[in-house]
Structure 1
Amino acid sequence: MSAPILAKPQLHLLLSKCLQIHIIAAFVLSLGCATMCKFGVAKPRKRAYQNFYRRYDVVKDFEEIFLYF
């Protein structure tokens, strides 16, 4: 009985292959997070400010502030 032949460990270019996979994954995840931040936070916030200033009456606010003086 002979011992089974083990496959040689892959040492050549192992680090570069792992780094390539991790860099691509990090790039894709960062693009996804930036897109989610833009459409999940920035656009609704911009829309809320637009709605607020569309309905905002400066004269009415001025009169409410100086009503108590």
Structure 2
Amino acid sequence: MCSSVLAKTQMWGLLARPLQICIIGAFIVSLGLAALYKFGVAEPRKKVYSNFYRSYDSMKDFEEMRKAGIFQNAK
């Protein structure tokens, strides 16, 4: 009689390892996209707004709109 021992199959951890790799990958990708949005969209937008409001005169803009007839109550 021949007695050979078969290796036991792995029954746990079959999903955990690939899922852990996917979660780490998703975290890295999301951080990269957040940084890309911050430096590619948000910071340039802040700069444009600050440049606009640095030289913006609200009273001059109001007078132009009043002369154009946009406001009905302001004479």
Question: Cα RMSD over matched residues?
Answer: 1.9
Identity of aligned residues (%): 56
Structure 2 unaligned segments of length 5 or more: list them: 1-8, 70-75
Count of aligned positions: 62
Instruction: Rate the CA distance shift 1:59–1:19 in 2: closer, same or farther, 3 A.
Output: same
Higher helix share: 1
**1:47 alignment partner in structure 2:** 47
After TM superposition, which residue ranges in structure 1, 4 or more long, deviate above 6 angstroms? Answer: none
| TM-score after normalising by structure 2 | 0.70
Distance in 2, Cα, partners of 1:34 & 1:12:
35
| TM-score after normalising by structure 1 | 0.75
Structure 1 unaligned segments of length 5 or more: list them: 1-8
Q: Work out which structure has the larger RCO, using CA pairs closer than 8 Å and 6 or more positions apart in sequence.
A: 2
SS at match of 2:30: helix
Deviates more, 1:56-65 or 1:23-32: 56-65
**2:59 alignment partner in structure 1:** 59
